[in-house]
Amino acid sequence: MVAISIIILIICGLLALVVLAQNPKGGGLAAGFTGAQQIGGVQRTADFLEKGTWTLAGALMVLCLVSAGLQSGSQSELNALDTPIEQTTDETVAPAADEAATDPGAEGK
């Protein structure tokens, strides 16, 4: 379970870096490459970043679903926490004594 959480955090960091490397207007990391004739030029860099974004987002979604499935699988631990606590009342205390203890003016009467 801890391993999945660590992988999720790593994917989140990578996804943030890949998204920040992109520019909504087609620039970003791809803007550093000039000339469309280069091998691996602007268009291919933009395609790589877009595919990387979708891949990381899909992996993040799958890992979150797996993590949620593993957590809900251990119902015995959750049921032990959800059991109500029984409240017991002490029936030996007389109501008159209970009122005298709560009313500060009742002692002098």
pLDDT > 90? residue 34: no
Mean pLDDT, residues 30-58: 72
Let me know if residue 51 belongs to a domain.
Answer: yes
Total domain count for the chain? Answer: 1
- What CA–CA distance (Å, rounded) separates 5 from 14? 14
Let me know if residue 97 belongs to a domain.
Answer: no
Predicted confidence band of residue 44 (pLDDT cuts 50, 70, 90): confident
pLDDT, greater one: 5 or 106:
5
Location of structure tokens 């029984």: 86
What is the predicted pLDDT for the residue at 70? 86
Give the pLDDT confidence of 59-107 residue by residue, as tens digits.
Answer: 999 999 999 888 865 555 556 666 777 766 766 655 565 555 565 665 5
Structural domain span for residue 27? 20-33+42-64
What is the predicted pLDDT for the residue at 91? 64
The rounded mean pLDDT for the chain is 74
- What CA–CA distance (Å, rounded) separates 103 from 93? 16
Let me know if residue 59 belongs to a domain.
Answer: yes
Let me know if residue 56 belongs to a domain.
Answer: yes
* Long-range contacts, stretch 64-68, CB < 8 angstroms, 24+ apart: 64/8, 66/4, 67/1, 67/4, 67/5, 67/8
Predicted confidence band of residue 48 (pLDDT cuts 50, 70, 90): confident
Mean pLDDT, residues 30-55: 69
